[in-house]
Each structure stands twice: as C-alpha cells, then as structure tokens.
Chain A
Amino acid sequence: MVKRIKRNAYTLMMTALGLLLVGGIYFSFVAPKEVEVGVSLDKQYSSVDEMKQEAQLIVEGTASTKQQGIRYQNMLFTVTDFHINKTIKGHADKKTIRILETGGFDGKNYLTVEGNKIMDKNQSYVLFLQKYQGSVTNQDAYVIIGAYQGKFAVDGNDISPAHKVAPAIAKLETKQALIKDIQDQ
C-alpha cells in the first residue's frame, strides 16, 4: 500500500517535472517572442508639433488584415494596408494607403523597435506620415514619422502613444488632447 502510494507520487512528480521541462523549452525556444532590433534613430521628436511640421499626411484610420513581410538585405520590413477614415493634415490620393514599417513577424518572433511592434491588424490608429523614399518597396507607400513615434493606437476616445517617446508625447491620453495638440499654433 505504502509502496504503491510512493510509486504513484514518484510517477506524479516525474510527470510534473517533465511538463515543466517541456513548458520551459517551449517558452524559451519555441513560442513566439518579442525580439528587439537595436536601432539608432536619426532623431527623437520632442513634441507633437515637431512631428506635425514634418508630416506630409496625418490620418486616422484602421489597419487592415492585409500585411506583407519584405526581406531586404538581412532585415525584415512589413507593409500594411491602412484604411483612412479621416484626414487631419495633407491629402491622400486613395482611401487605402500602404504603410511601411521596420520589423514584423519573421515566422518565429515579433521583431520590435524600442519595444514597439508593427501595427496590429484591425486596430485603429492616428498616424503621422511621410511618403516613403527608398528601395525596400517600389510600390507607393508611407512611413511613420520617427519609425514609431508618430503612431497612436486609438480605442474610442482613448489613445496610446508608442513606447519610448518624449514625455510631451507620452503624456497624451485622449484623442481630443492629441487633436488639440495638432491643431494648436
């Protein structure tokens, strides 16, 4: 009787240890992780106004489910189709534009820039944009000012600025506050 309990306890313990090991290996080596790329930004924007000055286009809209990864010389980029609901500055030729971002899902991990993933599918954003000039894609595309700095996730009236932005940008919590900052001056 005691022997059987001992044997059962032993089996239970070994099973638990086995599961822990498999789980540990899965989460350490297999499960998708956020993997940072180490960039040097050309500059850090100190305010919404500074981003506004350099933006050719400021829009509110929704990232579609259409995303295309592009490998260009050792690095992964992603182009996302973005549906514009409202144009705040400038003029876009189409209702749906293409946004080029550095990073994306490489089949194994989510590559991030300063802890920022590329846009989520079906998520709304306010974006500060410039026409893309370069050879990663030869189709018309836009890039976000400051890589991620000009990207604000929108949920109803609440907005979430990106990680690692200047304090004056990080403190914005509502769409009204952001729009006011854009319209001031």
Chain B
Amino acid sequence: MKKGLAIFAFLLVLGAWSPTFAYVLWGYKWASPNITYECDMHGDYTTQCNNGKTEWSNWTDVNLSYSSNPGITTTAGNYGNVSWSGLCSVGSSSGSTVYRMDISINTYYTDSYSSQKRKGVITHELGHALGLSHENRLGPGGSVMYDNDGRTVYSPTQDDINGVNAIY
C-alpha cells in the first residue's frame, strides 16, 4: 500500500515535471544568439511580425536585430490552397548550423485571419527559424509551436522560451 502510494507520488511528480520539458528541438541552431531578421512584408503582416520578433527577442536568450541582409527572411504571398498558412525552410546551412532561414506566410489563408491568429502563425514560424520543432503534447493552448492554426496561444509560452534557451 505504502509502496503503491510512493509509486503514485513519483508518477505525479514525473507527470508535473515532464510538461515543462515538452518542447521539441528541430536540430538546427545559429552560430550565435545574435541573429538578424527582417519583417518587411506589408501592412498588418509587418506589424505582427515585429510583435512576434520582439517577444522572442525580449523573452529568450536570443537577440534579434534588424538587417537589410538578414539571417531570417520573411515573405507574405498568395501560395494558394496548399494547406499551410506558414512555412519556414532552411535557406543555407552547414551540418546543423544555419546561416539563413526563409519564412513564407500564405495570405490565401492568413488574409481572412484575425490579427491575433495571424501573429500566431508568424510567431510560430519565427520559433522554427530559431530552432524549434512542433510541440503538441501540451495541446493547442500550451505552445505557440502547436502544429496547426487551431492553436489558442499567439505568443511564446514558458515551454517555448525554455526550448529556445536550451539551444542558446
């Protein structure tokens, strides 16, 4: 009985502990935490990109600074009904070190999104650009790295922040 209780307590502690390490790393990292970006899209896309960028930069160990020849590039365009609203592809890398990450935002979907939901997509893609992969175990409200636009958080959560800080 005592043993059962001890195991139960152990599992409870384990259960409470593991979600704080739910983040998943993509396997890529920048050579330094000082990373350059641009948010030169248009209208609200530029605004929401800057909002997302500021949160990642202020809340994590990463420091994002603007450059006209940046590491992280952003494009908003109509890619059509390809089922993704945002995409981040490795533009240039050597082994696991990245030199450029290209973010594409698909206005086919995001034009009809609220500003908040749009910011969620861009912040999610910035998370990829910093080295995070998808995190679904915490549910749609647990991580901005939730894999689809059903997410209910539009800013990095503590788990996302822990993930980035584990890399840099």
Residues of A within 8 A of B (CB): 28-29, 35-44, 72-77, 100, 102, 111, 113-114, 130, 132-136, 143-147, 149, 164
Q: How far is the CA of A174 from the CA of B87 in the complex (A)?
A: 32
Q: Is the CB of A135 within 8 A of B78?
A: yes
Smallest beta-carbon distance B167→chain A, Å: 14
Where chain B touches its partner, the secondary structure class is: mixed
**B-side contacts of A73, CB under 8 Å:** 75, 77, 79, 104
Asked if A41 and B79 sit within 8 Å, CB to CB, the answer is no
Nearest-neighbour CB distance to chain A for B152, whole angstroms, equals 14
Chain B 49-98 residues near chain A, CB threshold 8 A: 73, 75, 77-91, 94-95
Q: B83, A41: Cβ atoms under 8 Å?
A: yes
Q: Tell me which residues across on chain A come within 8 A of B80, comparing CB atoms.
A: 132-136, 143
Chain B: residues with Cβ within 8 Å of the partner, total of: 35
In the complex with contacts A73-B104, A74-B102, A38-B82 CB distance below 8 A: no
CB-nearest residue of chain B to A146 = B83
Are B79's CB and A134's CB within 8 A? yes
Which 5 A-B residue pairings sit nearest by Cβ, starting from the closest?
A134-B80, A38-B128, A147-B83, A38-B88, A40-B86
Q: For A28, list chain B residues within 8 Å (CB).
A: 95
Would you call B81 and A75 a contact (CB within 8 A)?
Answer: no
Q: Which of B81, B89, B108 contacts A37 (CB 8 A)?
A: B89
